[in-house]
Amino acid sequence: MLNLLEKLCLLDGTSGNEDSVREFIIGEIKGHCDYRVDNLGNIICFKNGKKRSDKRLMLDAHMDEVGLIITAVTSDGFLKFDTVGGMDASVLAFKTVKIGDILGVISSKPIHLLSKEEQKKPQKASALYIDIGASSKEEALSLVSLGDTAIIQSDFTLMGENVKAKAIDDRIGCAVLITLLKEKSEYDYTAVFSTQEEIGTRGAKVATFALNPDFALILEATTAADIAGVSDDKSVCNLGKGPAVSFMDRATAYDRSLYNASLNSGLKVQSKRAVAGGNNAGAVHLSREGVRTLAISLPCRYIHSPSCVANVNDMTDMLALTRYMLNGILSGEIK
């Protein structure tokens, strides 16, 4: 699965621009399930199992990642941008980006030209710009168009038992889902590779309406603050302690039976210990007359930065827990 995750993370796909991720995923799942692509670009999958359960279950992982969008070009040929999805400006400066095939560098005043006061203030995204080496507005616009998206480039690097990469949020969900779809299944189920999560959980909303499930499992990555200088009560979840399941975040109060069932699975799992963040569950659990929903998340440090750090063993534990919940719900063992 690590190999698969590497390929997925190195693909560029901001919200609304998930084409290359979608194309790759379709290549992977073809022949393992039926699928269609809907009006918003979601891949809606139908997995045939040996049996049909009387429960309808939907799995979800989002394909999009946070990034940048080009909003203007200056007379000198520099590009101005906005962020697509939540990105802290402090992670942007001096990073390399790709706008399609064009390389650029997010640029800023060098430290030598800043006042002592400016050196302490957090960087503002509005003071940053992308340099592609163009010498005029005309030249820049012959290479990129307004509305093009830019993605910060970042290697996939092993660090001890952890891996560092961009877009682990939520290519890990995609990797788990692809792996499951490639396996033979006991029961029929549906799965969605969704679009536009980072700009307001929009793809999952319409996909859930279409599939009308009774249950949903949201496969995600969530913030882990188990880092130096943060006390344990604020760490949210820890790398190496298994996938995190949520009782509540800012968008969802999760189904307690599903939450308890996952904690009682006997598998490696931890609680997400904060009412923070939100994900597609917020849109999914409110679909139609309501959907019983659980989020299973990979603990991830520096989420929404180009250097997400996550634990390799947590990934296989996440796959195991997802498989367990999937079969438990569909067999009726998990009520």
Partner 1 sequence: MNIKDLLFKLSSLDAVGNITAASDFAYGILSKYTTAEKMDNLTVIGFLDGKNDYTLMLDAHIDQIAMVVTDIDENGFLTVGAAGGIDIRTLPSRSVLVHGKKTVPAVFCATPPHLTSGEESFENISEIKLDTSLGSNAKDIISVGDFVTFSGKCGELQNNLVFGRSFDDRAAVTCLLMLAEKLHGKKLPINVAFVLSDSEELGMRGVRTAAFRVNPSEAIAIDVSFGNGIGISDDECGTLSKGGMIGISPALSKEVSNKLIEVAKENEIPYQLEIMSSKTGTNADMISINREGVKTCTLSIPLRNMHSDTEILSLDDLESVCELLYRYIMAGGVLNA
Regarding beta strands 270-271 and 244-245, do their DSSP bridges make them parallel or antiparallel, or are they unpaired? parallel
Which CB sits closer to partner 1, 103 or 210? 103
Query: Is there binding between residue 145 and partner 1 (CB under 8 A)?
Result: no
Candidates 48, 83, 107, 313; binder of partner 1 (CB under 8 A) is 107
Query: Is there binding between residue 277 and partner 1 (CB under 8 A)?
Result: yes
Rounded Cα distance, 151 and 166, in Å: 9
Query: Is there binding between residue 111 and partner 1 (CB under 8 A)?
Result: yes
Tell me which residues are annotated as active site.
197
Give the number of residues written for the chain: 335
Residue pair 208/287 in contact (Cβ under 8 Å)? The answer is yes
Rounded Cα distance, 288 and 51, in Å: 26
Nearest to 93, CA basis, from 64, 129, 58: 129
Cis peptide before 169 (omega within 30 of 0): no
Query: Is there binding between residue 82 and partner 1 (CB under 8 A)?
Result: no
Helices (H), the chain: 2-9, 19-29, 116-120, 137-143, 168-182, 202-211, 256-263, 281-284, 312-331
Query: Is there binding between residue 156 and partner 1 (CB under 8 A)?
Result: no
Helices (H), 150-237: 168-182, 202-211
| Token pair recorded at residue 218 | 């949201």
Candidates 1, 103, 141, 286; binder of partner 1 (CB under 8 A) is 103
Residues in contact with partner 1, counted by CB under 8 A, come to a total of 67
Nearest distance, CB of residue 58 and partner 1, angstroms: 28
**Residues 19-58, mask of contacts with partner 1 (x by CB under 8 A):** ----------------------------------------
Query: Is there binding between residue 155 and partner 1 (CB under 8 A)?
Result: yes
Query: Is there binding between residue 200 and partner 1 (CB under 8 A)?
Result: no
Identify residues 217-236 at the interface with partner 1 (CB under 8 A).
223-225, 227-230, 234, 236
Which CB sits closer to partner 1, 103 or 199? 103
Which CB sits closer to partner 1, 37 or 146? 146
| Token pair recorded at residue 187 | 């029961």
Which CB sits closer to partner 1, 221 or 291? 221
First to last CA, the chain: 30
What are the backbone dihedrals phi and psi of residue 177, each rounded to the nearest 5 degrees, phi first? -65, -45
**Residues binding partner 1 (CB under 8 A):** 74, 76, 78, 86, 88, 90-91, 93-96, 102-114, 119-123, 127, 129, 131-135, 139, 143, 154-155, 157, 159-162, 164, 223-225, 227-230, 234, 236, 239, 274, 276-277, 301-307, 309
